[in-house]
Amino acid sequence: MLDAITALKNCQHQRQLSESRFHNIVNNSIDGILIVSDEGSILFSNPAASSLFGRSQEDLNGAPFGFPLVGADRAELDIPLPAGQIIMVEMRVAQTEWDGHKAFLTQLRDITQRKQMEESLRLAAKVFENSSEAILILDPRMKLLSSNSAVTEITGYQPEELLNKDANLFFVEQQNILSFQQLFNKAFKHRGRWQGEVLCHAKDNRKFPGWLSAIVVRDNLGVVTHYVLIFSDITERKANENALRLAAVVFEQSIEAVIVLDAQERFVSVNRSFTEITGYTADEVLGLTPRILKSERQDIHFYRSMWRQINEHGHWQGEIWNRRKSGEIYPEWLSVTAVRNDDGKIDNYIGIFSDITERKRHEEYIHHLAFFDPLTHLPNRALLMDRMQLALASAERNSHGLGVIFIDLDHFKEVNDIYGHNTGDEVLIASAQCFQAALRHGETLARIGGDEFVVIVESADREILVSVIERLQSALANHSWEVNNYNFTIGLSAGIAIYPHDGVSATELLKNSDTAMYHAKKSGGGYRFYSTTLHMRD
Residue 525: per-residue pLDDT:
85
Residue 428: per-residue pLDDT:
93
Q: Round to whole Å and give the CA distance between 55 and 501.
A: 127
Asked if residue 223 lies in contact with residue 233, where contact means CB atoms within 8 angstroms, the answer is no
Residue 508 confidence class, pLDDT cut points 50, 70, 90: very high
Residue 177: per-residue pLDDT:
42
**CATH 3.30.450.20 holds for 255-357:** yes
Neighbours of 48 (CB within 10 A): 20
Q: Round to whole Å and give the CA distance between 176 and 195.
A: 15
Residue 13 confidence class, pLDDT cut points 50, 70, 90: low
Residue 389: per-residue pLDDT:
93
For domain 372-537, which CATH number applies: 3.40.50.10320, 2.30.140.10, 3.40.1350.10, 3.30.70.270?
3.30.70.270
Residue 175: per-residue pLDDT:
41
Residue 7: per-residue pLDDT:
57
Preceding peptide of 500 cis, ω within 30°: yes
pLDDT in tens, 356-408: 888 888 888 888 788 899 999 999 999 999 999 999 999 889 888 899 999 99
Please tell me which of 206-220, 485-499, 500-514 the model is most confident about, judged by mean pLDDT: 500-514
Higher pLDDT, 343 or 169: 343
Residue 174 confidence class, pLDDT cut points 50, 70, 90: very low
Q: Which amino acid is at 476?
A: L
The mean per-residue pLDDT over the stretch 423-435 comes to: 92
Q: Round to whole Å and give the CA distance between 40 and 210.
A: 64
Residue 250 confidence class, pLDDT cut points 50, 70, 90: low
Is the pLDDT at 81 greater than 60? The verdict is yes
Asked if residue 200 lies in contact with residue 211, where contact means CB atoms within 8 angstroms, the answer is no
Residue 124 confidence class, pLDDT cut points 50, 70, 90: low
| Mean pLDDT computed over every residue of the chain | 83
- Which of 239-248, 321-330, 459-468 shows the lowest mean pLDDT across its residues? 239-248
Higher pLDDT, 498 or 75: 498
pTM of the predicted model, to two decimals? 0.50
Is the pLDDT at 85 greater than 80? The verdict is no
Residue 157: per-residue pLDDT:
86
Residue 179 DSSP class: -
Residue 466 confidence class, pLDDT cut points 50, 70, 90: very high
Q: Where are the domains of the chain?
A: 24-114, 131-238, 255-357, 372-537
Residue 462: per-residue pLDDT:
93
Choose among 488, 473, 472: nearest CA to 427.
Answer: 488
Q: Round to whole Å and give the CA distance between 318 and 292.
A: 19
Residue 76: per-residue pLDDT:
78
Architecture of domain 24-114: 2-Layer Sandwich (3.30)
Residue 23: per-residue pLDDT:
65
Residue 420: per-residue pLDDT:
86
Burial class (CB in 10 A: 0-12, 13-18, 19+), 171: buried
Is the pLDDT at 264 greater than 70? The verdict is yes
Is the pLDDT at 70 greater than 50? The verdict is yes
Q: Which amino acid is at 383?
A: L
SS (H, E, C) 216-269: EEECCCCCEEEEEEEEEECHHHHHHHHHHHHHHHHHHHCCCEEEEEECCCCEEE
Q: Round to whole Å and give the CA distance between 229 and 134.
A: 8
Residue 156: per-residue pLDDT:
84
Q: Which amino acid is at 24?
A: N
The mean per-residue pLDDT over the stretch 204-212 comes to: 85
Neighbours of 342 (CB within 10 A): 6
Asked if residue 256 lies in contact with residue 350, where contact means CB atoms within 8 angstroms, the answer is no
131-238: CATH homologous superfamily?
A: PAS domain (3.30.450.20)
Is the pLDDT at 146 greater than 70? The verdict is yes
Can 131-238 and 255-357 be said to share one CATH topology? Answer: yes
Q: E-assigned strands of 256-314?
A: 257-262, 267-270
Residue 20 confidence class, pLDDT cut points 50, 70, 90: low
CB crowding 79-115: b at 16 or more within 10 Å, else e: beeeeeeebbbbbebeeeeeeeeebbbbbbbbbeeeb
Residue 24 confidence class, pLDDT cut points 50, 70, 90: low
